[in-house]
Amino acid sequence: MRDHIECLASRPRFERLIRMRDTGDGHFKTCSQCGFVWESRESFLKDPALKMIGYQVHGEDQREGLFLFNHDCHTTLSLRAGHFLDLYQGPMFQARLIGTEACPGQCLRQGDLRPCPEKCECAYVREVIQIILNWPKQPVATRR
Residues of this chain that bind Zn ion (CB under 5 A): 31, 33-34, 36, 71, 73
Residue 56's nearest CA partner among 104, 94, 113 is: 113
Q: Cβ of residue 141: shortest distance to Zn ion, in angstroms? A: 17
Q: Which residue, 70 or 130, has its beta carbon nearer to Zn ion? A: 70
Q: Cβ of residue 48: shortest distance to Zn ion, in angstroms? A: 13
Q: Cβ of residue 30: shortest distance to Zn ion, in angstroms? A: 9
Q: Are strands 29-30 and 37-38 parallel, antiparallel or unpaired?
A: antiparallel
CA-to-CA separations, 40 to 2, 26, 30, 60, 84, in angstroms, rounded: 39, 9, 11, 28, 12
Q: Which residue, 54 or 104, has its beta carbon nearer to Zn ion? A: 54
Q: Which residue, 57 or 77, has its beta carbon nearer to Zn ion? A: 77
Number of Cβ atoms within 10 Å of the Cβ of 17: 12
